[in-house]
Each structure stands twice: as structure tokens, then as C-alpha cells.
Amino acid sequence: MIEESISTIARDNPDKPAIVMGSSGRTTTFGDLERRSNQNAHLMRSLGIDAGGIAAFCLENRPEIIELAWGAMRGGIVIVPISSKLTAVEIDYVVRNSGARLLVTSPGIGDAFGKLPEVIGDIPLFSVGDADSGFRSWRDEAAKQPGTAIMHESLGGEMLYSSGTTGRPKGIRWTNASAQSSRARSTYGLCEETVLILPAPLYHSAPFRLAINTVCAGGTVVVMERFDPEHALSLIERYRATLSLWVPTHFVRMLKLPKEVRDRYDVSSLQLAVHAAAPCPVPVKHAMIEWFGPIIFEYFGSTEQTTITSITTPEWLRKPGSVGAARYGRVHICDADGKPVPAGTIGTVFHEGGQDFIYHGDPEKTAAARNEQGWTTVGDVGYLDEDGYLFLTDRGGFMIITGGVNVYPQEIENLLVTHPRVADAAVIGVPDLEMGEIVTAIVQPLDMKDATPAFAEELRDWLRGSLSGVKVPKRIEFEPELPRLPTGKMQKFLLRERYARVPA
């Protein structure tokens, strides 16, 4: 067997919950997971997908994601999780770019579902529920397959696609991906007693990997169908969760619950609250440490998993704002020519000795991500202090040049979201004939009644207390919702396109 823990628990404790859905309470036991993953492996093989083949799924948060992924991995198949927020055309792009031989999806992904048969006409399409027009029923066909292991099991893997925050997503393949599982288990202490709360979408790299690794270690994963701050707290209490995975926007939304609501729930079972995806504003993290205790653990990495930095609560209190020191591989800061710069100097973040990767089918992008030393970058910008701790300032492509001065939006955004009447914020550069670009903030107020010129001026006055004049947005616009992915990342290219066409 390629993963004894699942089969052993399925044999010795088949009724133990492996996956629990947060809203419905729908539970997949280890006995269910063993049987269904075997049936999925048999079905994929019967469809002609052998070891090394590629299968894709595009699903909202539901247990079938883990069942399908584990079935594929038992057959040596590469699984491609696709964002359930994409359009049918975008899903088609990922399916074809990856070389997937089938797509499993669900009506739960919304309008794209009904359009897929027309857009993807030559690849087998399956629905996890009943057979719909243009789809075969994965559930019905898998149920006909044996629940025992396939012959010649071999460990498969995954090909994850970048979030596409700056354009089309890129497929990422690794040369030594098996090391990721052992790192996750040792870092988070994954074991049979682990109860993981996952409020993020399972198609994204961090939740997907942590869910798979938790189940493989014999733990239980509680998956939220969608994030709601109070519901997340209630699930921690109800299931006595020991581990949780968040992004900073989750923290912001939980902290903006009334104090009496936050105090209503017992979160003392948590042993580790992990967060990633974006640097956390310093005041927000201080507030979370005060609330949850010294269990906040931050890591920094990309889908490419080049190197990984991490920082514990005691370390962060000594180095507030840092995303940690390298625990896997080595971090370098380089100038525009790819040359290393001294400690304290802002530059592009490069990685050495970490996970080796390629962009699937795109040797030019793969080569562009490396400098002459062979170090890799995904475009993050920051600096190392004298102790080797990394501080991020932004993505290089997000930097604003206004009147010849470099402005990093992250600093402004981190401050804006701490305002008590702001739910979310994004800062971009909008073209300007005189200044080149002007600093523009797009704000999502907690109450759209605040979307007024008076509140915009109030925000500017408030920002002036902490920021130099060049960083204070010359233009503030209001939106009822910003294009932030469920993974916590902002699709700034959409805002740039929109506001470049809208006069101030």
C-alpha cells in the first residue's frame, strides 16, 4: 500500500470521521474514504488514465475533492484542482493546458457548469451528482467499481495552478514533491488526534495539501463550505479543533465581530493557528495573538514552493512584520540585475536550494523565473534583516511609481483594513499624465452608506497620521465588494483595468 495509515484506520476504526462538512455536518468516515478512493482509482484506470496520466476536478468545497484526489494518487495519477470561481472558458484553458484526460465537476460551481459541455466538447465530463445534460455521473459509475485496492498502486501527485492574480494561471510541476508531505507532518505535528478547521477553498495549494496530509496522518478535516467568521468560531468549539489554517482577511473579519460575539466561543482547544497567503498587518496580528494566545504560526511560500520561511509567535513579537527566516532552502534579496544586495536593502526575493519546479509547457516562463545563479523568483519584493528574517513589501508588479517615487501598496492596504469602518482595501497605481501614476485606494466599507466623499476625506486625514504625503491616496473609490479570491489574494489586474478607464 502507498499510504498505510488510511487503510489501517479504515480497517481498525472505520467509523472515525476523516472529513466533516461544516454547515451540513455531512461526514466521510475512514471506511468511506478507503472504499471510495479505491473505486475512484479503478474508474480512472478503466477510463484509460494510467500512472503518469492527468485528471482534473473543478468543485466547490465538498468531500469528493479529497476522495477524488486520493483515488488519483493511489493510481499514480497527477490531479489538477481547478478554481470553482472560474468561467467555463477559463476552466477549459486549465484543462487543455494541463493535458487532463477528464474533468469532474458539480452544479455547485455556478453558471460555468452548464456551459462546460459546449466549451469542452472533446474531453469526458463528469458530475459528482446525478447525470446532467452533457455529463456522466461520477457517483454512479464509481459505485460500480470494486472498493478494494487496484493492482500495482503507485503514488501520484498534483499539478497546481497559480492564482492568476496578474493574468492567466500557470501550471506548476515539481521534481521532488514527495518531500512536501513529510515537512507538513513534522511542522504541524499532524497525527490521528489532529482536528483541522479549513475555511479556505480546497482547490488552492495550501488547504489542498494540508487536508490531504492531515487525512493521511489519520486526522480529521472539518471543511467550511464557505467562510463566515462566527461560524468558523463555532466549528472550533464544536469539534475541539487543534489546528486551523487562515489568511489575513479571515483574521480581519473575525476581529470585526462584536466582542461579545467573539467571547461567546471557546477556542482554547487550538494548539496552532497557521496563516499564510499574504503578510498580515501588524495590528491585526497583535490582536489575534491577544485573542488566540501565542499559537499564531505564519509561513511564507508560493504555490511553486521554492523555499519556505516561517515564524512563531515569540519570534514575531521580537520581529513584528516579518514572515520569518528560511526553514527550507535559502532566501536572497537581489537588485534589478539579479545581484545580491546588503541586509536592509529592498529588492526582489530569490530562492536557492528549495523545491525545484517548472511551469508546465512553458520553458520561457520557467527560464524567466531564474537568475544567472539558478536562483528562482515569483516576483515578491522585500528585504532581509541582519538576522536573516524576511520582511515583504509587495509584489514587484504592484509597485506604484508616482512622480518618480516608489510606493508599495501593501503598507497602505495594511493600514486601511485596520480602520473600524473598512472591510477591505486595495491600492493600485492609475495612469496620470503629470505624475505617471497616482496612488488610488479602492475601499470596501463595512456599510456602503459610508461610500461618500466625506468618508474618503476622513480616510485621507486618518492615513496622514501614519503615512508620508506621497503614500496617501490621491484618489479613493468605493466598491461593495473587491475582487479578492477565496484564497485571500486580490486580483489587482481587474481593478487596474477598470480604473484605468474610469476618470477621477
Mean pLDDT of 390-402: 79
pLDDT in tens, 269-326: 999 999 987 778 889 999 999 999 999 999 987 777 677 899 999 999 999 999 999 9
Residue finishing a domain among 160, 187, 216? 216
Please report whether residue 136 resides in a domain: yes
**Range of weakest confidence among 61-65, 75-79, 203-207, 457-461:** 203-207
- For residues 388 and 432, membership in a common domain is answered with no
pTM score, whole prediction: 0.84
Please report whether residue 472 resides in a domain: yes
- Give the CA radius of gyration of the chain: 23
- For residues 77 and 199, membership in a common domain is answered with yes
- For residues 377 and 425, membership in a common domain is answered with no
Please report whether residue 429 resides in a domain: yes
Give the domain extent around 201: 4-216
Phi then psi for 344, rounded to 5 degrees?
Answer: 90, -5
- For residues 194 and 167, membership in a common domain is answered with yes
Q: Considering only residues 307 and 334, tell me which one the structure prediction assigns the higher pLDDT.
A: 334
CATH code of the domain covering residue 465 = 3.30.300.30
- For residues 494 and 351, membership in a common domain is answered with no
pLDDT in tens, 115-135: 999 999 789 999 998 778 899
- Do the Cβ atoms of 466 and 413 come closer than 8 Å? no
pLDDT in tens, 360-382: 888 888 888 888 888 888 888 89
Q: What is the pLDDT at residue 93?
A: 92
Task: Using CB atoms within 10 Å of the CB of residue 180, give its burial: 0 to 12 exposed, 13 to 18 middle, 19+ buried.
Answer: buried
- For residues 431 and 381, membership in a common domain is answered with no
Please report whether residue 234 resides in a domain: no
Instruction: Label residue 451 by pLDDT band (50, 70, 90).
Output: very high
Which of 60, 106, 107, 99 lies closest to 80 in space, CA to CA?
A: 99
What mean pLDDT, rounded, does the chain reach? 89
pLDDT higher than 80, residue 167: no
Residue finishing a domain among 376, 396, 416? 396
CATH code of the domain covering residue 364 = 2.30.38.10
**CA separation for the pair 387, 140 (Å, rounded):** 57
Residue finishing a domain among 396, 414, 438? 396
- For residues 388 and 477, membership in a common domain is answered with no
Work out the number of other CB atoms within 10 angstroms of the CB of residue 83: 20
Instruction: Label residue 1 by pLDDT band (50, 70, 90).
Output: very low
**CA separation for the pair 193, 147 (Å, rounded):** 26
Mean pLDDT of 436-447: 92
pLDDT higher than 70, residue 504: no
CATH code of the domain covering residue 73 = 3.40.50.12780
Share of the chain above pLDDT 90, in %: 60
Please report whether residue 304 resides in a domain: no
- For residues 353 and 470, membership in a common domain is answered with no
Helix (H, G, I), strand (E, B) or coil at 95: helix
pLDDT higher than 70, residue 405: yes
- For residues 154 and 83, membership in a common domain is answered with yes
- For residues 108 and 212, membership in a common domain is answered with yes
Count how many domains the chain has: 3
Q: What is the pLDDT at residue 2?
A: 47
SS (H, E, C) 234-288: HHHHHHCCCEEEECHHHHHHHHCCCHHHHCCCCCCCCCEEEECCCCCCHHHHHHH
Apex 8 CA angle, 4 and 14, nearest 5 = 140
pLDDT higher than 60, residue 183: yes
Q: What is the pLDDT at residue 114?
A: 92
For the chain, the helix, strand and coil percentages under 3-state DSSP, each to the nearest 5: 35, 25, 40
Please report whether residue 293 resides in a domain: no
Q: E strands of 15-170, at which residues?
A: 17-21, 27-29, 54-58, 78-81, 103-105, 125-127, 136-137, 157-158, 160-161
Q: What is the pLDDT at residue 264?
A: 96
Please report whether residue 263 resides in a domain: no
**Range of weakest confidence among 179-183, 330-334, 350-354:** 179-183
Q: What is the pLDDT at residue 32?
A: 97
Instruction: Label residue 235 by pLDDT band (50, 70, 90).
Output: very high
- Do the Cβ atoms of 237 and 267 come closer than 8 Å? yes
Q: What is the pLDDT at residue 250?
A: 92
Mean pLDDT of 140-149: 95
- For residues 133 and 9, membership in a common domain is answered with yes
- For residues 389 and 403, membership in a common domain is answered with no
pLDDT in tens, 55-105: 999 999 999 999 999 999 999 999 999 989 888 998 999 999 999 999 999
pLDDT in tens, 21-32: 999 999 999 999
Which of 157, 234, 241, 240 lies closest to 196 in space, CA to CA?
A: 241
pLDDT higher than 50, residue 8: yes
Work out the number of other CB atoms within 10 angstroms of the CB of residue 265: 16
pLDDT in tens, 462-497: 999 888 888 999 999 999 999 887 767 788 888 888
Q: Considering only residues 223 and 157, tell me which one the structure prediction assigns the higher pLDDT.
A: 223
Q: What is the pLDDT at residue 485?
A: 76
In DSSP terms, 160 is beta-bridged to: 172
Please report whether residue 268 resides in a domain: no
Share of the chain above pLDDT 70, in %: 94
